[in-house]
Amino acid sequence: MQQKEIYLKNYWSLFLDFINVFADLTYNNIPLPILANFYQHLDQTLKEEMTKPDFKKYLSRKSLDNTQIQAQFERWLNPLKLPSKTKPSQGKVLLNFDYLRFSQNSYSHFSPKETVIFARFDKKDHLGIPIHCIKHYSVDVQQIIDKLVKKANGIFSSVNTHPVYNNQYLKTSFINKIPLMVEQIAAVSRYFDKNPISCIIVGTTEDLISRILTIIAASKGIPSICLQHGILGGPEAYLPVFSTKVAVYGQYEKDWYIERGLPENRIAITGHPRFDDIFIQNHLPRTDFQKKYNLNPQKKYVLLATQPGNILLWSKLIEILAKQREIEVIIKPHPWELSRGPDRMAVYELYSNKYQSVKLILKKGVNLYDILANVDIVVVNLSTAGLEAMMFRKPLFILSDMPFDYYDKMKDFTSSSPTKLAQLITRFFKDYRLQQLAHNKISEFLTYAYPQNMSAVSLLKEINKLIKT
C-alpha cells in the first residue's frame, strides 16, 4: 500500500474521531468540528506520521473502506436535515459568490427576479442580479464564542496525552477558527430567517461559508448543489459531501463518488458553466495573438501551463524545447505560482531572458481561453487546464512524476521524463499517425470525462428538479 493511500485511510478515520471527541462543541445544533476543513489543521509532522501503517493504533477505527466514507459522515449530517417534503415552496435561487467561478455568460442564464447572489462584498448587484451581503446579517455572538473557546480548551486538556490532540498546531488552528465558525453560523441562520430561498448553489464546500450554507439550508429543507471546482486531485477537498447533490464534470467523477459511498441519485453530470465560454465565445484571432505575445508566425506554439510542483521537471523541459528551431514556448504559470512563488518566477524569467523563443505570461487576469485557442500543443502536470485544452481539441501532453488516474486515457502522451516528452512533442509535428492518435484519444477522453457542451442548461434543469421535487 502506497504512503498516500495509507495517509488517506488514516485521515478519514482521524477526522471522524475528531468530530466524535469534540462533538459537544455545538452552536445552533451544528457540531463545530464537522465544519473543520480538517486537512488544513494538520501540520507536516502530523501528516508524515499519518503515512505510517502503525498510526492506526491512535484511531478508534482501525480500518475504513472507501465505500464507507460518506456513510460515516452522514451519521453526523443526517440529524441536521429536515425532510425535503417540508421545504419552502417558494423562494429565490441563491448563488454563493465565493469560488463559484462563473463567467459573465454563466450569470446570464439566471433571472435577476428569481436569483440572489450571497457575497462578502457590499454592492447593489452583480450583472443585474441582486447581492445580499453577509455583513448585513451579523449577530453579536462574542459571549457564545468565549464559552465555546473555553470549552474547546477544556476538551483539548482532557485528551492531551493523545499524540494527535496534543499537537499544538491542530489545537491552535482549530480554536482560532471557532469565532469565525460561530459568527458565520449566526449570520447565515439570520439570513435564512429573513429571506425565502428555494435552492442554493455553491462552488465548493471546502469554503466555510459554503459548508455552513449547505448545512443550514438542509436543516430548513432547502436543497443545494455543489459544483465541481477542479479535477479531483486531493480527495480531502471533495469529501464529505454536504450538499443535496454534487454537479460533476463527467462519468469519471460519478464513478469516483460512488466508490466512496455517495448514492448515485446525489450525483448529476452537468459540467461547469464556466467552460461554456469555450464553445460559445469568440476568442482572440491568431494574428492578434501573435502580435500580443511577440510570436513568430512561422513557428509552432507549445503552451506550458505550469503548476506548483517539481520545478526541476519544468526547467529541463523548457531548456530542451527552447533549443528547437520550429518551436516557441509559452509559459503560463499557475495563479498560485504568481502570488506565492517569486523564486519560481525567477526561474521562468531566467529562461525567457536567455531564449528569444521562450515567452513568459506573468499578468494576472489573462484570458486562458484566448491562449488555448491559438497554441498548437498544451503541456500540463495535473491541471484542469488539460481538460480545457482538450475541449479546444488541442493535443495534450502530460509531464508528471505522480500517479493520477484522471488522465489515464492519455497515457500515450504522458511521461515523467522531460527529455522523452520533449522528443515526443518534436516528433508529433512531423508524425501524422501520432497526430491522428491524439485526435482519437481526445474524443475518447471527452466522451467519458466531459460529455456536454452547455453546462448552464444542464445545471438549471437540476435546480428545477430539486425545487419541484
What residue type is 464 in one-letter code? N
pLDDT band at 363 (very low <50, low <70, confident <90, very high): confident
Containing structural domain, residue 85:
3-271+455-468
Give the domain CATH number at 300: 3.40.50.2000
pLDDT level of residue 3 (50, 70, 90 thresholds)? confident
Better pLDDT: 348 or 363: 348
Same-domain check for residues 213 and 333: no
**If you average pLDDT over residues 248-257, what whole number do you get?**
97
As a whole number, mean pLDDT of residues 34-56 equals 94
What pLDDT is recorded for position 62? Answer: 77
Pairing of strands 129-133, 125-126: antiparallel
Are residues 45 and 172 located together in one domain of the fold? yes
Q: Are residues 244 and 337 in the same domain?
A: no
153 shares a domain with 219 = yes
Same-domain check for residues 238 and 294? no
* pLDDT tens digits, one per residue of 417-437: 999 999 999 999 999 999 999
What pLDDT does 234 receive?
83
| pLDDT tens-place string over residues 255-290 | 999 999 999 999 999 999 999 999 999 999 999 999
DSSP E strand boundaries for 88-194: 92-96, 115-119, 125-126, 129-133
pLDDT, tens digit, 9 for 90 and up, residues 391-422: 999 999 999 887 778 999 999 999 999 999 99
For the chain, the average pLDDT equals: 93
Task: Return the pLDDT at 194.
Answer: 96
Question: What's the mean pLDDT in 13-23?
Answer: 97
Q: Are residues 320 and 235 in the same domain?
A: no
Average pLDDT over residues 149-175: 95
pLDDT value at position 2?
84
DSSP E strands in 134-278: the ranges are 197-202, 224-227, 245-248, 267-269
Average pLDDT estimate for 41-68: 91
How many residues does this entry show for the chain? Answer: 469
Please spell the DSSP secondary structure of 357-399, one letter per residue.
TEEE---TT--HHHHHTT-SEEEESS-HHHHHHHHTT--EEEE
One domain, residues 115 and 174: yes
Q: pLDDT at position 18, please?
A: 97
Q: How many domains, the chain?
A: 2
251 & 312 share domain: no
Q: What letter would DSSP give residue 412?
A: G
Q: What is the pLDDT of residue 226?
A: 98
**pLDDT over 90 (residue 310):** no
Residues 368 and 244 in one domain: no
41-50 average pLDDT score: 95
Lowest mean pLDDT among 29-33, 209-213, 353-357: 353-357
Q: Residue 82 has what pLDDT?
A: 78
The whole-number average pLDDT for the span 444-452 is 95
User: What pLDDT shows up at residue 190?
Assistant: 98
| Residues with Cβ within 8 Å of residue 221, at least 6 apart in sequence | 81, 82, 83, 84, 85, 86, 87, 88
pLDDT digits (tens, 9 = 90+) for 129-161: 999 999 999 999 999 999 999 999 999 999 999
Task: Say yes or no: 63 and 212 in one domain.
Answer: yes
Q: At residue 340, does pLDDT exceed 70?
A: no
Q: What is the pLDDT of residue 403?
A: 72
**Coil, strand or helix at 223:** coil
Work out the pLDDT band at 90, boundaries 50, 70, 90: confident
Together in a domain, 407 and 441: yes
What does the DSSP assignment read for 41-108? Answer: G--HHHHHHTTSGGGGGG-S-S---GGGHHHHHHHHHGGGPPPGGGS-SS-EEEEE-TT----HHHHT
Do 67 and 112 belong to one domain? yes
Q: Is the pLDDT of residue 439 over 90?
A: yes
